[in-house]
Amino acid sequence: MKHTISRLANCRAIHILVLLTALLSTAIIPALAQSQNLPDIGGNGGLLSDQLENEIGQQVMSSIRRSTRTIQDPLVYDYLGNITYRLVPSAPLENRDLQLVIIDNSAINAFAVPGGIVGVNGGLFLNAATEQQFASVLAHELAHLSQHHFARRMEQQETTTPLTVAGMIAGIILSAVTQSDIGLAAIAGTQAMTMQNMLAYSRAHEKEADRVGMEILASAGLDPRGMPEMFEIMMRRNRLQGNRLPEYLSTHPLTQSRVADTWNRASQYSGQRVADSQEYHLMRHRLQVHYAKSPELAIRTFESELEKDDPDHLEALRYGLAVAYQENREYDRAEQVLRELLDGNPGRITFQVTLAEVLIDHENYDSARELLKQALARNPENYPISYTLAMAELGDGNGATAADLLEELARQHPEQELLWLKLAEAEGMARNIVGVHRARAEYYLLMGDLTSAQRQLRQAQDILPASSTERQVISERLGEISERMQARNR
């Protein structure tokens, strides 16, 4: 199913723009007022301090969570984390603690903003035919972060007012959050330069990100040729869409000369073609089912591909068919295909987790539990396995067991709001009211709703005896929230 930004979301986006402008103006104006000349970019003494970058990053993530549908499928999210952190050691990043987000939109898009936020659309999986092409977009975004392009873009505005700079930041962030042109319009309306100069400056940054991104790919053992190949896909999409510029190209200008330049650069890297991991194509087909107009159409598409004489990625296509069967509630057929795949790949986590999901959907909790516990014994702390086991326990009414699993997952992945929601549900099933309030508080904090988080923790605090250790922990958390609220109101 395809998701687009509705009129309501656009109204909400405008509201977020106002809030972001006010917030970032408050944070930036005092810093800029200390000196008429902006400092050089680089390190802790740069235009954007580490603290300010982190604040921007937190605000971006809160805005995304509030205004945009995201994909939190543990298998897809885990794959994105694995491929990103394959690239990270080769990227010249000062801060390697990244937050990843997958926007539930079938268009090609990706972005990176200060605070280590890297996002992709689900549509990037659909349009990147190979893992090398997909990784090239991630490498490009990591290059933007490593080269401080966000801050350097601000530096060019040193003759403008601080409010203009704040408005530009809000606009850039908003276009990443909403995947619409509202943010870009805000940038155009607040800059003291022509759009032509703006694009020329952006192209210079794009060229630098291309160069650094290819170096990251080569160093990580991936194929730099994936970048010009992906650019050609984008150019074809651009021609097909006519006057409607693809989302990615609205923020990442692309010309034929730039494509040619990246081909020339890629040819300078020696080496054989790099084979894709099977996991990429499993995730790609999983998302093809997600974005299909109907499960029946997805089934027909995969069956048609499998009927070809020599289809590529045979197992991945069969996996896609199984996921389509699952989505169409043909659980017996999905289970049969997945068990056949597991016979040939006994330890593949994706097949195990997906089979367990089918068993859970079919309310066969005992079989799902047994399968997942065996898988977890071989892969301790694995995110998709642990999460799916928690869902099996939750479905079977074992709230306390599910809560134990989800609490550990939330500790490991505190930025995943879905975990806190599920933890609150599990704690409620286990009749742990304090646990419900604490989990809801963490969810509200991720959403940027400090008042609701504070209220939840106070309700939990009221239940506990004064001498309780847990009450002390909650009091400390309340103190942290109060400090954040005071900082926001300065």
Active-site entry in 73, 78, 131, 141: 141
Tell me how far CA of residue 28 lies from CA of 37, 165, 289, in angstroms: 14, 8, 44
Q: Which two tokens stand for residue 4?
A: 């687009």
The encoded tokens of residue 131 equal 């893992």
> Is the distance from CB of 203 to CB of 251 less than 8 angstroms?
no
141 part of the active site: yes
Note if 210 is an active site residue. Answer: yes
> Of the candidates 438, 394, 402, which has an alpha carbon nearest to the alpha carbon of residue 420?
438
* Number of neighbouring beta carbons within 10 Å of residue 319: 27
CA distances from 402 to 73, 315, 373 (A): 18, 32, 13
266-297 per-residue burial string, b: 16 or more CB within 10 A, e: under 16? beeeeeeebebebbbbbbbbbbbbbbbeebee
Active-site entry in 73, 210, 215, 276: 210
Indicate the annotated binding residues for Zn(2+): 140, 144, 206
Beta-strand relationship, 99-103 and 110-113: unpaired
| 323-337 core/surface letters (b: 16 or more CB in 10 A; e: else) | bbbbbbebbebbbeb
End-to-end, the C-alpha distance of the chain in Å comes to 43
Helical pair 331-344 and 314-327, crossing angle rounded to 10 deg: 150
CA distances from 140 to 143, 359, 398 (A): 5, 40, 45
List, as residue ranges, the binding site: 140, 144, 206
Q: How far apart are CA 415 and CA 436, in angstroms?
A: 18
Active centre residues (catalytic): 141, 210
